[in-house]
Every structure is written in C-alpha cells, then in structure tokens.
Structure 1
C-alpha cells in the first residue's frame, strides 16, 4: 500500500501549470484524470488531479501566494522515464537543477533528475533499480 494518498500544491498560473504537468507526468504513466470547475471550488479557481486508472494522486490549484517552494519526488520504473520527465520539463518551461544521473550520495542505484516547475517547486523523478 502507498503511504501517500495524494499531494496538492498551489500554482500561480493554473493553465500553464496544467500544460507543464501534463507533459512532465506523461512519461510516468500519469495523466489528467479529474478537472474541477472553478464554481465548485472554495478558491474559485480550477483544480486538476493527475493520476492513473482514474484516481488522482497529484493535484494543482490556483493560488495567489504560492508560498515556499516544495519538493516532490515522482517514482520512475526505468531510467528512461527519468530522462523523459526531465526532457518534458525543460521543453515546457521547467528549469534544470540536476540532469539525469546517478546520485551516489543516496545510494549506487539512485538515478534521478531535478527541475523547477513554473512556480519554483523542486520536482524530482527517481528510479532506484538497476
């Protein structure tokens, strides 16, 4: 069983972040599975949920003050998925903060890439298998 049910973050530009996350999460097999109309939200901004099999595990919503950046690490099954996430992020406005590669400081099989999303949140894609 997964320990985390879902994560939700506030973003300054919901439309731009939706495009960013659609591209970045696709290599991991995650897609937009739920869109909540602004009229049905407490903040009056759209909410988008990304996941697999119809279940959203990562949500974004509009937020005027996004606050401090966060770090989210997405599990990749293969190193090729890590590479694809990194490439998709850079192609859609992300900022490189760590190209795909082994991170020995964690362990010898820790293959990861790091990017900042449009709001400065630190995203990681990580594959921990050979």
Structure 2
C-alpha cells in the first residue's frame, strides 16, 4: 500500500543516530545515507519497499511537526516493541505512552508511543497474540 514515508528532521546527525538504533531494533536495513543532501532511508531486508526516509524538508524551511500525524512501525512481537521503545527513549526520544495492550483497537494490539528528537510522533506496534512461554524440558 505504501511506497515510502518521509519524516522531516532539523539535525541530520542527531536524527540519523536516533533512527539508526530504532531501525536496527526493528531489523530494518539501511538502504542509503547521503550526507551531502542530509537524508537517509531504511527498508526491510527482503523487499525494496516501503522505504522509511528521514531528511531536511525539500523547500528549505524548518521541519515542523504536524498535529495529529503519527507513523506506526510494525514489530514482529511484543518483546521487539519493548526493545524499540527503550531504544527510542535512550537515544533522545520522549514518551507518549509506554508499551502495553490497547484493547480499544483490538484484543492483541500491543503498542508503544514516543516522539523523536524533532517531535515527530511514532508508534511501534504488534498485532499478534503474546508468544507462548517456552515449556521447560521434562526429564
């Protein structure tokens, strides 16, 4: 459905540091980094799209956060949501809602909400039921 998402940023190095950790936590690989143009993009290892892009706004004006705008990134499991949230906060993000179930969306929706260092609102979520606990080996 999506080709790409572009998030405007003010400080490329700061944003790249934040998003590099977040994307690595989500197992997304860096497709490119262009220091001259101050933009970078990530993708899934097995598909060319969609792309997640960061960069300075094309029109040269300062990046601005839109009210009501949020990007939700998909995690494969709840533990990844927890790790992504912790990584985001450890690298300059601000909490907008800690990891947890959000049954108002559906029974298995597990998400965490935060803002990047430029104030863009992000969510990392999983739509799958909690993974069953491993059974100890019986003797």
Q: TM > 0.5 between the two?
A: yes
User: Normalising to structure 2: TM-score of the pair?
Assistant: 0.81
Measured after TM superposition, the shift of residue 71 of structure 1 is: 0.8
Higher share of residues assigned helix:
1
Scaled by the length of structure 1, what TM-score is found?
A: 0.87
Task: From the superposition, tell whether residues 17 and 37 of structure 1 become closer, same or farther in structure 2 (CA, over 3 Å).
Answer: closer
Question: How far 1:107 moved relative to its partner?
Answer: 1.0
**What root-mean-square deviation, in Å, do the aligned CA atoms of Structure 1 and Structure 2 show?**
1.5
Q: Does 1:65 align with 2:54?
A: no
Report how far residue 67 of structure 1 moved: 2.2
Deviations 1:57-109 (A, max 9, x none): 10011234212333100011100110011000011010011100000111111
Task: Give the unaligned 5+ runs of structure 2.
Answer: 130-139
Worse-matched range after superposition: 14-23 or 65-74: 65-74
Q: Which runs of 4+ in 1 moved over 4 A?
A: none
Q: State how many pairs are aligned.
A: 122
Instruction: Specify the structure having the higher radius of gyration (Cα).
Output: 2
